[in-house]
Structure 1
Amino acid sequence: MSTRDAWIEEGLRILAEQGAPGVRTDRIAARLGLTKGSFHHHFAGAPDFRRAVLGAFEERSAAALAGVVAEATDRSPADALALLGERATDLLDQPLETAVRAWAFQDDDARAAMARVDRARYEALEAMWTGLVDDPADARTAALLPHLVVIGATMALPAIDRADLSRLFDLLVRLVPYTDAEFGGTTAD
């Protein structure tokens, strides 16, 4: 791992542990055993570093989503949603996302990064629902439920246990009213 990447990784760890106020050059330098000169060699100041940390958060979120979407690609829509239930906690680094969401209330860059992550997740959910319901408006609305569950889970205090979140997604999948013959007829039990 490059020194620049080490700075960013440590920034992500501190962000998850302490929130945005903890993302300070002196703290990160001390934890890494590096100098502030090393920081300035890799970043054009604190705003540049914060953008790099947010970029890494976005990349991780996008990679996790892409992995689940790729795995779901060859599945029926119902099986794709079931997979979402199985992988819900893989898509979410809860402490990190909670910190970024809190930061987004105070910082334009954090708000933009979180909005891009949310938009990508919502669009993936909508695509899954489009295969299950006939009306595109219903697909958009249905996609909101798991999307808002994730957002709520990241902001809940005390934090939602990963196992509880996974069980919640399993329950959501079981509540889907499949009406297409491909899914064995109507099953809203």
Structure 2
Amino acid sequence: MATSRTDWLDHGLEVLARDGVDGLRIDRLASRLGVTKGSFHHHFDGASGYRAALLEHYEQSTLRELSTAIDERRDEGTRATLEWLVDLATADRASIRRAELDRAVRAWAHADPAARAVQSRIDTRVIELLQAAWRPASDSDATARTAALVPYLVSLGAAVTIPPISAGELRAVYELLLDAVPGAASD
């Protein structure tokens, strides 16, 4: 079976989420994928090139998924958009909340400037996207930003809590926050 660049990157994100950045060893990745290290070198210029590509892949997929989710409901108003995001963030196979991966990248960012730059761009963009979702229901950009920070900070806190917060508990917290969102009639 041929292993594509995307296969290597997707598998790398799984390993990163499970084992942290130290698990991103070429020999281990190749073994888990059932391929030779030659396959790796066909797609990447060494371990540093792989890590850079992995960070880029993580950034693009994270922002694409959230942006798509928000765009799908934007015309329905702030509350509908945020309710949709709660559904996506708390589903069994959450597409926009990957707590283990988020923890691993944030830990990596503490020790690596490239990972820190990626995490900074992600945090900035996620807050901007949430702020844009909140803006129609807010009286100012500042109010929309503050409103956007609340669920994002809850998400970050839930991602690092030990033992982990269950999806059900997180959903209950988000639903409590949804009570502060103006209803469709106010949007």
TM-score bracket for the superposition, by shorter chain length: 0.7 to 0.9
1:85 aligned residue: 86
Distance 1:82 1:46 in 2: 40
What SS does the corresponding residue of 1:11 show, helix, strand or coil? Answer: helix
User: Which structure: larger Rg?
Assistant: 1
Partner Cα separation in structure 1 for residue 34 and residue 169 of structure 2: 38
CA distance in 1, matches of 2:71, 2:21: 32
Q: What's the CA shift string for 1:58-117, capped at 9, x where partnerless?
A: 122122112211212211222222222222233111211111111111111211221222
Which residue of structure 2 lines up, in the alignment, with residue 183 of structure 1?
Answer: 186
The secondary structure found in structure 2 opposite 1:105 is helix
Which of 79-88 and 143-152 deviates more? 79-88
CA shift for structure 1 position 140: 1.4
CA distance in 2 between partners of 1:31 and 1:139 (Å): 45
| Pairing of 1:71-150 with structure 2 (within 5 A) | 71-89=72-90, 90-150=95-155
Q: For residues 77 and 3 of structure 1, what CA distance do their matches in structure 2 show?
A: 39
- Are 2:86 and 2:171, in contact at CA under 8 Å, matched by a contact in 1? yes
> Which stretches of structure 1, 4 residues or more, deviate above 4 A after TM superposition?
none
Q: CA shift at 1:156, angstroms? A: 1.5
Structure 1, gaps ≥5 residues long: 185-189
Kept in 2: contact 1:88–1:169 (CA 8 A): no
Structure 2: unaligned runs, 5 residues or longer: none
1:39 Cα offset (Å):
1.6
SS at match of 1:149: helix
Secondary structure at 1:34 match in 2: coil
Residue 177 of structure 2 is matched in structure 1 by 172
Deviations 1:150-187 (A, max 9, x none): 111222112221222222212111133x3x89339xxx
Aligned residues: 182
Contact 1:84/1:169 (<8 A) preserved: no
> CA 1:84–1:43 in 2, change beyond 3 Å: closer, same or farther?
same
Amino acid at match of 1:168: V
> What percentage of residue pairs aligned between the two structures are identical?
41
Match of 1:92, SS state, is coil
Would the aligned equivalents of 2:79 and 2:184 in 1 still touch at CA under 8 Å?
A: no
Distance 1:181 1:25 in 2: 51
**Aligned equivalents of 1:3 and 1:173: distance in 2?**
41
Residue identity in the other structure for 1:48: G
- Name the amino acid aligned to 2:166: D
The two structures have a TM-score, normalised by structure 2, of: 0.88
| Aligned CA-pair RMSD | 2.0
